[in-house]
Structure 1
Amino acid sequence: MTEVRRAGAGDAAVLARLLWDFNTEFETEVDDVDVLEARFARILELPAVLAVLAEDGPDPVGFALVTLRPAIWFDGPVSQLDELYVVPALRDRGIGTRVLDLCTALAREQGSPEMHINVDEVDVDTRRFYERHGWVNVEDGTDYRMLCYVGPTG
């Protein structure tokens, strides 16, 4: 039975390996696991960072990372689902839904009224997953999609 729980800094190595697996699966450039582990260990000590880990017995099978930021439009923080991954062999078994549910519950406990995620337009399966869970890219009262842009800082 897969267990889903909040992860902590002690889970940094497992989370780093899962993130590395996620990025290499999609042939995305990624830092070495030891670099990711150090970053996870550092950021998971921050109160504005939440991580969720799914485990099937001793085996890690999925994770998510959520960050919180202050927002002018709400009394609570806006949450950003930065990563959500389930190992390929176990997809379509409800693990991603359980991870997402815990993420939203943890964010709600922190006073977050909404959560954001960026999804590549070509990633139809991922878009379908989030849409099935009530996520939208067209806000009520509009007829146009929301887009995310990435820009340089230096």
Structure 2
Amino acid sequence: MTITRATPAHAATVGRLLHDFNVEFDSPTPTAEEFAARFTRLLEWEDQLVLLAGDPADPEGFAYLTTRSSPYYDGPLMQLEELYVRPRLRDRGIGTELVLGMLRRARERHCGEIHVNVDEVDVDTRRFYERHGFTNTEPGEDSRMLLYLREL
């Protein structure tokens, strides 16, 4: 499977995928066109990265990643914002290929850590990330890490 980096020319495709993802899970969502307009700008920034699985003109899935500076590492932190595989194509290793592509890009950028947020009730997704070496505890600790959110 080919994993490629999206460019601003892929903004409409990425916008449609993210919109489809939100609709599938009944999440409030901007329109695909609004996402496309935003991705047209975002995909020009070095700290924004979208990976496309398969044919970039009609990808099977995508991973949206951001990076930010941190005093804890010589390199940045990477955040997996979204990972989505089209429903009819799931359980074929596409998500795994996107995670492997993410890990490759994180190493290339000398990232010190990757953050992934998952809803506690989403057991299948939690298992997926745990299978790929992610944990919700700090090394040597037994209490879970929690994400707190406040919309503005």
TM-score range, shorter chain: over 0.9
Cα deviation for residue 134 of structure 1 reads 0.5
TM-score for both structures, normalised by structure 2: 0.95
Cα distance in 1, alignment partners of residues 106 and 7 from structure 2: 15
- Counterparts in 2 of 1:34-113, with a 5 A limit? 34-55=33-54, 59-113=58-112
Cα distance in 2, alignment partners of residues 44 and 110 from structure 1: 16
Cα deviation for residue 57 of structure 1 reads 8.3
Cα distance in 2, alignment partners of residues 17 and 142 from structure 1: 40
Q: Secondary structure at the match of 2:54?
A: strand
- Counterparts in 2 of 1:9-20, with a 5 A limit? 9-20=8-19
Cα deviation for residue 55 of structure 1 reads 2.4
Deviations 1:60-94 (A, max 9, x none): 21001110000011110000000000011111110
Q: Secondary structure at the match of 1:50?
A: strand
Q: Secondary structure at the match of 2:2?
A: strand
Q: Please, which runs of 5 or more residues in structure 2 have no aligned partner?
A: none
Q: Secondary structure at the match of 2:134?
A: coil
Cα distance in 2, alignment partners of residues 61 and 36 from structure 1: 18
Cα distance in 1, alignment partners of residues 35 and 90 from structure 2: 24
Cα deviation for residue 99 of structure 1 reads 0.7
Percent of aligned positions with the same letter in both sequences? Answer: 51
TM-score for both structures, normalised by structure 1: 0.94
